[in-house]
Structure 1
Amino acid sequence: MWTRRDFGFGLGLAALLPTAFAQDVRVMRVANTAGVNDPQQCFITAGQHPKLNFYKPNGVDVEYVNMSSMTQALQSLQSGHVEFGPAVPGLLLPAMAKDPTLDLVSVYKWLPRNANVIVVKPASPIKTAADLAGKRIGVRSQGDTGIVLTKVMLAELGLKDDKCEYIAIGDGAPAGAAIDNDRVDAMVAFDTATARIELVGTKLRYVPLTPKFAQVGSGWLCVPRKLLKSERKSLVALFRGMAKSTIFANANLDAAIDLHWDVYPESKPKGRSLDEARKELAFILKDRKNSWMRRPDDPDQRMGASSLAEWTANIAMTAESSKNPKLAQELGDPNRLFSNELVDEINDFDKQAVVRMAREFKG
C-alpha cells in the first residue's frame, strides 16, 4: 500500500505519479507554499491522526507537495500535479486575467480573518500603513505575498509604491537580524512569520492594517473548476474533514500540535524538548488560531464560505495594486472566481460535538 512518505514531499516526485488512490482512499495533493510541513498546518493535519480520523472514513486523505512560491503553486494546479492549493487574490486574479486557461475556483475560505501584519522596530517613525510609501519593505522572499499586500494597502490610501524597495529577508533569525540592523524599515508578512521573529529575541511593534484591507479574509483554497464536477464527493469530504480539524485545533491547540507530530514525526523539533517546542508554537499560533475561525459578527458563520462582496473588494484592491483599471472587465463575472456550492454539505456535522471532543481529548 502506498503511504504518505512513499509519495514524497517534492514536486519532482509528485509530478511522476498518477492520480493517487490507496484502498479506496482518494489522496488529494495540496500545494504547500510554506515549503515545509510544520505544526502551524495542524488545522488540516490533526484530523489525519487515527485518534480523530476526520478524512479516511469518508474516502479521502491529504498529501503535502512543497512549493517554493505561489507562481509554482498556480502552475502545479493548472498542470494537475496537485488537486488544491492557496488562492491569494493579489497574485491569482492578475494571473487568471492574463491566462484564461487558468480556470481555478476558490471553494473554501480557510482563513476568514485577516492574518497579515505590518511590523517595525519599537522606535521606528512608521506609525501607520501610509508611512510605508518609499520605504524598504522586508518580505520573506521575492515571490512572497508581502509585496502585493503592501501595494494593496498603499493603493487603498491613494498612495504609490513606486519608490518602495522590497528586500527578501527570509524567516526567523535572518529576518530578525535584518530588522535589528536596519536593513529594512518594516516587514509585511503573515502573523506566524513575525511571531517566529519575536521568538528569536527581536522586539517588534505592530502597525495597524488599512481599514478596508483589515476586513478582508486572507486565505482561500482553490481547485481546478473541472474537479467541482468530477470530484465533488471527494472535495466535500476533504473540506469537511478540514473544517472539523480546524475546530478541533482552535479548541485544543496543544493536542492538535501533538497529533501533527505523530502524523509527521519528521517535523518534530531537533535539539530541544517537545515541551519547549510546544510553547513556541503556542506563541506562534496565538493569533492565527482565532483567524482560523469566523469573526463573531460575521453574518455567515459557515466554515469555508465566501461572499460576492469580498471578491468584488479583492478585485478592486488588486486592480489598484496592479495598476490595471481593466482587471474587473478582463475577469468578467466575479461569481466565477468562487463557489459556495459545497459549503452546506461541508458544514453538515455537529460542530459542538467536535469542540467537546477537543476539550475532553486525552492524548
Structure 2
Amino acid sequence: MLTRRNFGLALGALGLTGGLPALAQNVRIMRVANTAAVNDPQQCFVTAGQSPRLNFYKSGGVDVEYVNMSSMTQALQSLRAGHVEFGPAVPGILLPAMAKDPSLDLVSVYKWLPRNANTIVVKPGSPIKTAADLAGKRIGVRSQGDAGVVITKTMLAELGLKDDKCEYIAIGDGAPAGAAIDNERVDAMVAFDTATARIELVGTKLRYVPLTPKFAQLGSGWMCVPRKMLKDERKNLVALFRGIAKSTIFSNANLDAGIDLHWSVYPESKPKGRTEEEARKELAFILKDRKNSWMRRPDDPDQRMGASSLAEWKANIEMAAESSKNPKLAEELGDPNRLFSNELIDEINAFDKQAIVEMAKSFKG
C-alpha cells in the first residue's frame, strides 16, 4: 500500500515537492484539495474504492491523496499553483474568481453532489421562518472562507434582497458552533448538511429552514481540474472519476461497508474515546441525508454519474452574478460551455453500475 501523508500536511511543505511528479509504483497519485480540513468517513464516497478489497483506483493506474485546506479560496490557489490535481468547485466562489483572474483556467468535469446539500438552521424558537428572514441577521458560517457566506448571498439575491446588513460570523464546527447557536451569538447558520448534523450530535436542537426554490434545485458540488489536464491526463482523469463513481455507488448501497473501508485505508481517522459502534451510529446520522445527495434525483433526465448541464451552469452564473453584485459576470466569463465539460462522462460511466450495487449488498466486513 502507498504510504499516506499525515492528514495535517501543511501546504508549505507541498511547495517543496510541488514540482516533482506525483508517481509511485507506476500509480499516478491525484491530490485533492480537501476543504473539510479533516479526512473522515463522510468522504467514503471517494475513499472506499482505495481499499485493496475494492481496488477501484489502482486498477486504472491512479490513486487519491488528500491535502487538507482551510477554505475554498485556498483550494483554488492550490489548484492554480499545481499543489493539487483536482478540487471542489462551488460556483458562487469559483465563477467570480475566474472572471476576476482569467489565468485561473479551471473546468468542472464531475458533479459529485448532484442534489443540494446546503442547509439553513436556527434555534427551534427562532422567529426566522424562511430564507428571506436572513436579511440583516447574524449568520454563522464555519469560517470566513467557507461557502456559507456565498450561499446566503445567493439565496437572498434570488429573493431580490440584499445582504449588506448581514454579519457573517465564523463559529467553527460541532460543539463551538452549537454553543454559538444556543447562546444566540448568531441568529442562524448556513452550512452543508454534514456540518449541521454534527451540531445536532453534540446536543444542540436545531430547526431546518427551507432553501429558496430556485437554489434548492441546483446541485451543490462539482470537482474541477486545470484545463490543461483534460488534454494531458485524460486517461488518468477518467480512471480517477470512474473510481469515485464506483465508490459513490458502493457507499450509497452499503454505507456501513463504506465507513469500514474508509477506516481500513485511513486508520488514523478511527474514533478516539468511544466505541466503534458509537462512532458508526454518529456517522449514520451525519450521512443520513448526504448519502442520497451523492446520487442523481430519480426525475433527473441525465442519470450519468458526474454529468452537468448547460442550463444549470447558466443558472449558476446568474446566481453568482447576483450574489457577487456583478451584473457583467456572464459577459466577463464568456461562453458558459467553457466552465464545465462532459467529455469524460461517457467513459467514466462505462461500467456495470448494478454490479457495484450487488457487490456492496453482498459485501462482508
Per-residue deviation, residues 149-196 of structure 1 (Å, max 9, x unmatched): 000000000000011111111100000000011111100000000000
The separation in 1 between residues aligned to 2:265 and 2:10, in whole angstroms, is: 18
Aligned to 1:225: 227
Match of 1:274 in 2: 276
Unaligned segments of structure 2, at least 5 residues: none
1:5 aligns with 2:5: yes
* Alignment of structure 1 residues 80-91 onto 2, 5 Å: 80-91=82-93
Contact 2:109 2:342 in 1 (8 A): yes
Match of 1:178 in 2: 180
Q: Once the 2 structures are TM-superposed, how far is the Cα of residue 9 of structure 1 from its aligned partner?
A: 3.2
- Could you tell me which residue of structure 1 aligns to residue 217 of structure 2? 215
From the superposition, tell whether residues 129 and 7 of structure 1 become closer, same or farther in structure 2 (CA, over 3 Å): closer
SS of structure 1 residue aligned to 2:5: helix
1:129 match: 131
* Closer/same/farther in 2, CA of residues 23 and 204 from structure 1, 3 Å limit: same
Give 2:64's match in structure 1, choosing from 52, 62, 67.
Answer: 62
3-state SS of 2:313 partner: helix
Of residues 139, 148, 160 in structure 1, which corresponds to 2:162? 160
Contact 1:126 1:132 in 2 (8 A): yes
Displacement of 1:2? 5.7
Deviates more, 1:338-347 or 1:21-30: 21-30
Aligned to 2:300: 298
Residue in structure 2 matched with residue 50 of structure 1 by the alignment: 52
Which whole-Å CA distance do the structure 2 matches of 1:15 and 1:275 have between them?
40
Contact 1:14 1:65 in 2 (8 A): no
CA distance in 1, matches of 2:91, 2:118: 13
Q: TM-score scaled to structure 1, two decimals?
A: 0.98
Among residues 268, 283, 286, which one is paired with 1:284 in the alignment? Answer: 286
CA contact (8 A) 1:7 1:13 kept: no
Helix, strand or coil for the counterpart of 2:54?
A: coil
Distance in 2, Cα, partners of 1:31 & 1:5: 14
Q: Does 1:29 align with 2:25?
A: no
CA drift of 1:19 comes to 1.9
Aligned counterparts of 1:265 and 1:44: Cα–Cα separation in 2: 16
Partners in 1 of 2:161 and 2:119 — Cα distance? 19
Matched residue type, 2:188: A
SS state of the match for residue 4, structure 1?
coil
Shift of 1:85: 0.2
Instruction: State the number of aligned residues.
Output: 363
Secondary structure, in 3 states, of the residue corresponding to 2:49?
helix
Deviation track 1:31-86 (CA, whole Å, cap 9, x = no partner) reads 01111111100000000001111000110000101111111111110111100000
Distance 2:162 2:123 in 1: 23
Runs of 5+ consecutive residues of structure 1 not aligned to the other structure: none
Match of 2:96 in 1: 94
SS of 1:238's partner is: helix
Q: 1:2 to 1:13 in 2, by over 3 A?
A: farther
1:243 equivalent in structure 2: 245
Which residue does 1:112 correspond to in 2?
Answer: 114
Contact 2:7–2:38 under 8 Å retained in 1: no
Note the alpha carbon deviations across 1:209-232, whole angstroms, 9 max, x for none.
000000000000000000000000
Q: Percent identity?
A: 86
Quote the RMSD (CA, aligned, Å): 1.1
Q: Distance in 2 between matches of 1:348 and 1:284?
A: 31
What pairs with 1:196-215 in structure 2 (closer than 5 Å)? 196-215=198-217
**Counterpart code for 2:137:** K
SS, match of residue 15 in structure 2: helix
